[in-house]
């Protein structure tokens, strides 16, 4: 028997399940095919579990500095069993929530690997054939590996493996100083591990604002994290106690575990896209701004397209794909995509860096406000970092904002709206921000574009 649907979604991650729900909201008969856990990498092995660990790491850091704020304390200890159990509880509750959402929308969840086999057709392992008027491919991405450091799940770990480690290692070598590598570096350093980062580029989180990157490097070194920048791992060998990695310059680094964090690759090799001749390469499935592939009736969304490998972008792409699959004409805009990094301290940005703006031929000015000049940050004992606006010189039109410091990821929201609405620094700063709050730093940095920030010496 062939199951027939209006929409079949292949993949139940942050692109797939929102696509399925939006299609159902529009009245379609929908099935969602997922071979693993609902929520995909983000919920099960990425965004959510790492933030559960980061929240505890932040708590531990604050507890260790509590005496400076007048709180007497004993030694702060981390219970690894409780730490990882809490992470798993958070995941279970959110996966259960997705299951309830899909059930409420009468979406059929077909468990098993799905593969496109022909026009409007898909085979689902354990279910059989599915026919659908439109197909949305949302199979996500997988961790990239290094040929000389293959994942073994014991000593050489992926970002997925390390979330099930179940213990706090004495030492961690992190290969790759991008977003994921730096997040895990600050998390495990807070838990007491000796941490070393090896990054082939001359700076950490190299896509960020140069001043943000330099500040992060300074703060990580201050925490006792060893950095080898502009360096490469040439080889690695397992020992009885861990891994010995050798850099190209001859330096040897011994660690209990090694985390390889060198990016992610779109995952669609088993999806059957070649059956229909859909245009794709190593960088992902090719789509337009309506999320249409080169084959009419087939859409793709999320990491599998190889664009912004961010869960919030994937969700918007999934919704846009669903709406267009059902006859609407909606395009996705990538002009104000926010980016967040959950290091300690946090980093966030939206819009252009100084370097990017200049490459576009813009004449720019910048306005910066340090958290050390903010009353709330001082009260929290978290004064490191700053807010920095980038604006067009001629009219102070806001082009980008960059934040490193306390609650940076939460502070980004009003800046996203400001860029999306095309505000100038003056228009943004005209709003009255509550005092005392961290959000005042955003207004202060906007005022600094004009040289009139009240709480800064010019």
The tokens for 280 are: 């794709």
Q: Strand, helix or coil at 281?
A: strand
What is the DSSP secondary structure assignment for residue 146, as one 8-state letter?
B
- 308 neighbors 291 (Cβ within 8 angstroms): no
312 is catalytic: no
CA distances 186 to 32, 47, 337, 359, Å, are 37, 15, 25, 32
- 387 neighbors 411 (Cβ within 8 angstroms): yes
Which residues, other chains included, contact 342 with Cβ-Cβ below 8 Å and sequence gap of 6+?
Answer: 50, 51, 54, 183, 409
Does residue 345 have a cis bond before it (omega within 30 degrees)?
Answer: yes
- 357 neighbors 419 (Cβ within 8 angstroms): no
The tokens for 98 are: 């997705």
The strand pair at 108-111 and 233-238 is best described as unpaired
User: CA nearest 438: which of 352, 340, 369?
Assistant: 369
**How many angstroms separate the CA atoms of 322 and 104, rounded?**
18
Residue of 58, 228, 402, 435 marked catalytic: 435
Q: Which residues are catalytic?
A: 435
């Amino acid at each position: 028997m062939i199951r027939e649907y209006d929409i079949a979604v292949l993949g139940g991650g942050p692109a797939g399940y929102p696509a399925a729900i939006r299609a159902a909201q529009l009245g379609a008969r929908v099935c969602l095919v997922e071979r693993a856990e609902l929520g995909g990498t983000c919920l099960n092995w990425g965004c959510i579990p790492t933030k559960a660990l980061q929240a505890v790491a932040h708590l531990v850091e604050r507890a260790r500095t509590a005496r400076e704020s007048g709180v007497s304390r004993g030694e702060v200890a981390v219970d690894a069993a409780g730490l990882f159990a809490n992470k798993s509880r958070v995941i279970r509750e959110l996966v259960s929530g997705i299951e309830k959402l899909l059930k409420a929308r009468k979406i059929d969840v077909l468990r098993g690997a799905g593969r496109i086999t022909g026009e409007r057709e898909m085979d689902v392992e354990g279910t059989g054939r599915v026919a659908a008027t439109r197909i949305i491919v949302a199979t996500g991405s997988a961790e990239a590996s290094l040929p000389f450091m293959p994942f073994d799940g014991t000593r050489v770990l992926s970002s997925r493996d390390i979330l099930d480690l179940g213990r706090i290692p004495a030492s961690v070598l992190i290969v790759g100083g991008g977003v994921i590598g730096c997040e895990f570096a600050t998390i495990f350093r807070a838990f007491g591990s000796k941490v070393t980062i090896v990054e082939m580029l001359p700076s950490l989180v190299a896509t960020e604002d140069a001043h943000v990157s330099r500040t992060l490097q300074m703060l990580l070194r201050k925490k006792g994290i060893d950095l080898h920048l502009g360096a490469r791992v040439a080889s690695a060998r397992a020992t009885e106690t861990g891994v010995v990695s050798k850099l190209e310059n001859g330096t040897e680094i011994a660690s209990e575990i090694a985390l390889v964090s060198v990016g992610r690759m779109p995952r669609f090799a088993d999806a059957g896209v070649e059956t229909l001749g859909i245009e794709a390469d190593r960088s992902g499935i090719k789509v337009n701004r309506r999320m249409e592939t080169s084959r009419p009736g087939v859409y793709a969304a999320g990491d599998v397209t190889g664009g912004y490998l961010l869960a919030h972008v994937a969700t918007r792409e999934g919704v846009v794909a669903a709406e267009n699959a059902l006859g609407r004409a909606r395009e996705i805009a990538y002009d104000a995509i926010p980016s967040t990094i959950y290091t300690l301290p946090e980093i966030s940005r939206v819009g252009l860096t100084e370097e990017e703006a200049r490459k576009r031929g813009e004449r720019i000015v910048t306005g910066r406000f340090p958290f050390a000049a903010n009353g709330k940050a001082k009260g929290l004992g978290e004064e490191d970092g700053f807010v920095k606006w980038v604006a067009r010189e001629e009219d102070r039109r806001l082009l980008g904002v960059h934040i490193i410091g306390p609650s940076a990821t939460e502070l980004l929201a009003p800046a996203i709206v400001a860029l999306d609405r095309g505000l100038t620094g003056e228009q943004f700063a005209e709003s009255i921000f509550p005092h005392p709050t961290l959000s005042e730093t955003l207004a202060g940095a906007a005022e600094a574009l004009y040289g009139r920030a009240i709480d800064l010496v010019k």
